[in-house]
Amino acid sequence: MSADSNPPSPIESSAPVISPVDRFLARRARWRKVGLVVLVLLLSSIVLGNVWSQIRGGDDWTRYDRQHFVVQSVMAGDQIAIEPASGGAVTIVKLLGVDTHSVNSNAATQPHWAVESYQALRDVAQGRRVLVALPGLAPRTPDGRLHAYIYLEGDPPALSVNERLIADGNAYADRRREHPFHKQFDQAEQEARRKKRGLWQDVRDDQQPTWRQEWLKKLSAARTERPTTVRVP
């Protein structure tokens, strides 16, 4: 065999020589990358879990949904404060799907039907034992109040205080947010308007809540834009 056919010695090899230390450092760098990816995934799952828990109401479901409380006070025509029957922390509840004007104690005159709405809810709920029912998603308002349906103990289970206020003309059906009973509440409001119950006896458009005035304008504009049907004789 000729000298030219002999394999090169390690010193003459063109392949890079990797020391044991370099191999160790390379392996450690790879494991660090894997560990970083796992950590990011773990943190992401925790954050997403917390966000979903917040959307779903977190422990609000355990503490409030289908639980009984006592109405400690009525704060407005669509807002109450509840507490456990045995006493404890007070929770502010905004009646879901309901809107009323609030009484302004510093004003010389009050918004239309604000006092009547407050008094109607007070007559119905003050000191009463109630069942709280939470909606499917996000049972908290942006300012932290509990959004809920309220049922009086002893009343028909299908009739909430929310719907009763609307049906009696003591509140508006709040159309700013859809909820499981929004169609039912809309129908109750239409019936109250037709029979001129409560606030619908004499309310003007400009006396209604701002969001409702905007909704009425959009509704009127949509009706105006509808094409008219021309009858051919």
- HEC-encoded secondary structure of the chain: CCHHHCCCCCCCCCCCCCCHHHHHHHHHHHHHHHHHHHHHHHHHHHHHHHHHHHHCCCCHHHHCCCEEEEEEEEEECCEEEEECCCCCCCEEEEECCEECCCCCCCCCCCCCCHHHHHHHHHHHHCCCEEEEECCCCCCECCCCCEEEEEEECCCCCCCCHHHHHHHCCCCEECCCCCCCCHHHHHHHHHHHHHCCCHHHHCCCHHHCCHHHHHHHHHHHHHHHHCCCCCCCC
77 close to 94: Cβ distance less than 8 angstroms: no
Question: Using 50, 70 and 90 to split pLDDT, how confident is the model at 8?
Answer: low
Cα angle value 171/140/105 (rounded, 5°): 45
- pLDDT at residue 21 in the model: 63
Measured distance between the N- and C-terminal CA atoms of the chain, rounded to whole angstroms: 114
- pLDDT at residue 11 in the model: 45
- pLDDT at residue 31 in the model: 76
Question: Using 50, 70 and 90 to split pLDDT, how confident is the model at 146?
Answer: very high
Q: Which of 52-56, 60-64, 174-178 has the lowest mean pLDDT?
A: 52-56
Place of tokens 């970083």: 36
What tokens were used for 134? 């939470």
Phi then psi for 8, rounded to 5 degrees?
-65, 150
Q: Is the pLDDT of residue 12 over 60?
A: no
Q: Is the pLDDT of residue 58 over 70?
A: no
Q: Is the pLDDT of residue 43 over 90?
A: no
86 close to 159: Cβ distance less than 8 angstroms: no
Give the residue-averaged pLDDT of 13-31. 66
Express each pLDDT in 155-214 by its tens digit: 888 899 999 999 999 999 999 998 999 999 999 999 999 999 999 999 999 999 999 999
Mean pLDDT of the chain: 84
- pLDDT at residue 53 in the model: 43
- pLDDT at residue 5 in the model: 55
- pLDDT at residue 27 in the model: 73
- pLDDT at residue 133 in the model: 96
- pLDDT at residue 42 in the model: 56
- pLDDT at residue 188 in the model: 98
Highest mean pLDDT among 31-45, 55-69, 181-195 belongs to 181-195
Q: Is the pLDDT of residue 225 over 90?
A: no
For the purposes of burial, counting CB atoms within 10 Å of the CB of 118, is it exposed (0-12), middle (13-18) or buried (19 or more)?
Answer: buried
> What CATH number was assigned to the domain covering residues 60-215?
2.40.50.90
Q: Is the pLDDT of residue 17 over 60?
A: yes
89 close to 154: Cβ distance less than 8 angstroms: no
- pLDDT at residue 194 in the model: 98
Instruction: Enumerate the domain spans of the chain.
Output: 60-215
pLDDT over 70, % of the chain:
76
- pLDDT at residue 156 in the model: 82
